[in-house]
Amino acid sequence: MKHLKVIFILAAVIGLSACQSKVEYGDATEVETVNENFGSTDLQAIAAKMVDSMLTFPPVVAMTANDRPIMFVDKVKNKTSEHIDTESVTDSISNKLLRSGKFRFIDMTKVDSVRKQLDYQNNSGMVDPSTAISFGRQIGAQYMLYGNLSSIVKEDGSTKDVYYKMTMRLMDLETGLIEWSDEKEIRKVKSKSFLGM
């Protein structure tokens, strides 16, 4: 009986300590495989591939040799079966392109805020007219960057195969020509463990 008590207390202690959760910092660029869903590693792989491909593409190199072309990023259309924040993908890509010093960007998501601010500067009567930025002085974009993210998911009893394809294109707004295009494929296979909780 006494033994039983000791064993019980031991089990309780082990059980309690196992339940304690902890928080740790990890490396943001570490490979993440918590599950097969679209994750940070996929996002980073896509952004790196797209930016590399674009900056080394000869016509784009020529285009940016003496000039910093202005572009804007249209939405990446999410055609997968997961709720993915595609704005975050385009943010990473535009960040990298901007940091390369070869392009300049217009942020279309902030047009409304800018309009409100200019409206305030020009029409509220609160701002010194000589310092107010007047309407119609912004520079138009020459290129549009856009893309599609699609996926194919297949599943049978124990295996799940997820395939992602991100396609991106750069369009010259004046001529309508596609100046650059590339795709990044990602395949993830998940197999169920045989024994577990």
Q: Which residue of 7, 155, 185, 189 would you call a contact of another protein, by CB under 8 A?
A: 155
Binding another protein by CB under 8 A: which of 1, 16, 28, 195? 195
Question: C-beta of 119: minimal distance to another protein in Å?
Answer: 25
Residue type, 135: F
Quick check: 158 binds another protein (CB under 8 A)? yes
For residues 138 and 192, what is the distance between their CA atoms, to the nearest angstrom?
Answer: 55
Regarding 21 and contact with another protein (CB under 8 A), the answer is no
- DSSP code for 138: P
Q: What is the residue-wise DSSP string for 69-122?
A: -EEEEEEEEEESSS---HHHHHHHHHHHHHHTTS-EEE-GGGHHHHHHHHHHHH
- Site pattern 81..120 for another protein (x: CB under 8 A): xxx-------------------------------------
Query: Rounded to the nearest whole angstrom, what is the least distance from the CB of residue 121 to another protein in the complex?
Result: 31
Site for another protein in 63-82 (CB under 8 A): 77-82
Q: Is 194 in the site for another protein (CB under 8 A)?
A: yes
Helix axes 86-99, 40-56, angle to 10 degrees: 40
* Residue 145 CB coordination number (10 Å): 23
- For residue 181, which of 144, 150, 141 has the smallest C-alpha distance? 144
Which residue lies nearer to another protein by CB, 81 or 113?
81
67 vs 85, which CB is nearer to another protein? 85
Side chain identity, residue 191: S
Binding flags for another protein, 26-45, as an x/- string (CB under 8 A): ---------x----------
Q: Does 196 bind another protein (CB under 8 A)?
A: yes
Q: Is the alpha carbon torsion for 18, 23, 27, 29 positive or negative?
A: positive
**Residue 25: CB minimum distance to another protein, A:** 26
Smallest gap from Cβ 74 to another protein, in A, equals 14
**Tokens describing residue 181:** 């295009």
Cα–Cα distances (Å) from 85 to 36, 51, 73, 75, 88, in that order, read 16, 19, 15, 10, 6
Q: How many residues bind another protein (CB under 8 A)?
A: 19
Residues that bind another protein (CB under 8 A): 35, 77-83, 153, 155, 157-158, 160, 192-197
